[in-house]
Amino acid sequence: MKNRSLISINDYSKEEYLKVLDIAEDFEENPRQKILENHVIATLFFEPSTRTRLSFESAISQLGGKIIGFTDASSSSVSKGETLMDTVKTVANYSDLIVMRHPLDGSARWASEVAGVPIINAGDGANQHPTQCLLDMYSIRKTQGTLENIHIAFVGDLKYGRTVHSLVIAMSQFNATFHLVSPEELKLPSVIKKYIKDAGLNYYQYTDIENVMDKVDILYMTRIQRERFADPIEYERVKNSYILKNDMLENSKSNMRILHPLPRVNEIEEAVDKNPKAYYFQQARNGVYVREALIALILGLK
Partner 1 sequence: MENNIQKELKVSALENGTVIDHIPSDRLFTAIRILNLDGSPNPVYFGTNMNSQKYGSKGIIKISGRYFGREEINKIALVAPTATLIEIKDYKVVSKYDVETPSEVQSFVKCFNPKCITNHQAVPTKFKVFTDANGVLKLRCHYCEKTTTQENMVFQ
Cβ(294)–Cβ(65) below 8 Å:
no
What's the CA gap between 75 and 69, in Å, rounded?
A: 10
Rounded least distance, CB 111 to partner 1, Å:
9
Q: Which of 54, 104, 201, 248 binds partner 1 (CB under 8 A)?
A: 104
Q: Is residue 109 near partner 1 by the rule CB under 8 A? A: yes
Give the contact letters, 146-185, x = binds to partner 1 (CB under 8 A), - = no: ----------------------------------------
Rounded least distance, CB 302 to partner 1, Å:
29
What's the CA gap between 228 and 218, in Å, rounded?
A: 25
Handedness of CA 283, 159, 20, 34 (dihedral sign): negative
Q: Where in 178-207 is the site for partner 1 (CB under 8 A)? A: 191, 194
Rounded least distance, CB 174 to partner 1, Å:
22
In 164-276, the DSSP E strands lie at 177-181, 203-206, 218-221, 257-259
- Name the residue nearer to partner 1 (CB basis): 7 or 180: 7
CA-based radius of gyration for the chain:
19
Q: Is residue 125 near partner 1 by the rule CB under 8 A? A: yes
What's the CA gap between 41 and 68, in Å, rounded?
A: 6
Q: Which of 12, 110, 138, 178 binds partner 1 (CB under 8 A)?
A: 110
Q: Which of 68, 126, 265, 271 binds partner 1 (CB under 8 A)?
A: 126
What's the gap between Cα 289 and its chain centre? Answer: 13
- Name the residue nearer to partner 1 (CB basis): 18 or 104: 104
Cβ(178)–Cβ(204) below 8 Å:
yes
Residue ranges in contact with partner 1 by CB under 8 A: 8, 83-85, 103-107, 109-110, 124-128, 191, 194
